[in-house]
Structure 1
């Protein structure tokens, strides 16, 4: 499992110019089964994506994000092994 943290490098106005493309890209990641959850950071200086799969495929997918293609955000990928989860989230394990 991966936590992808996006940090915006530009003003929100520039981010918002590409938000529709970013949302379409996120939906495609969900359709592929790679993304599990996503949302904005509070305060809105970036976002977070929970993803599964292998790191190589995730890194390749991130290059398709309009935020990456237009150099709007930096990405930090943290891999972790969810050994304990709340009831109902067992699918996140292994």
Structure 2
């Protein structure tokens, strides 16, 4: 499982120009079954994505294709998490 932190860069003003393509990238991640959660890092510092069912190399390629990353609206930091203990509702993450 991976946590992706998307932090706004100095190019944040360009976000509006790329928002539609960024949202399509997010929708594709959910459609592919890779993204489990996306949201805003408050207060409006960027975003976060929870991903699974993907290798790190595949995820790095996917993140590089995010229009926000490609146009330096955000910088991306990927952190891999190996779940050891979960609520029963999240047991599928340990597989």
Alignment partner, residue 30 of structure 1: 30
Q: How many residues align?
A: 94
Greater share of residues in helix: 2
Distance 1:91 1:18 in 2: 34
- The equivalences for 1:4-15 within 5 A come to 4-10=4-10, 12-15=12-15
Q: Which runs of 5+ in 1 are unaligned?
A: none
The runs of at least 4 aligned residues of structure 1 exceeding 4 Å deviation read none
> TM-score, normalised on structure 1?
0.90
Superposed CA RMSD in Å reads: 1.4
Pick which of 68-77 and 80-89 moved more: 80-89
Identify if the C-alpha distance between structure 1 residues 39 and 21 changes in structure 2 by more than 3 Å, giving closer, same or farther: same
Q: Which runs of 5+ in 2 are unaligned?
A: none
**Alpha-carbon deviations, 1:32-77, whole Å to 9, x = none?**
1111111110111111001111100000001110101211111111
Distance 1:71 1:8 in 2: 8
CA deviation after TM superposition for structure 1 residue 17, in Å: 2.2
> TM-score, normalised on structure 2?
0.89
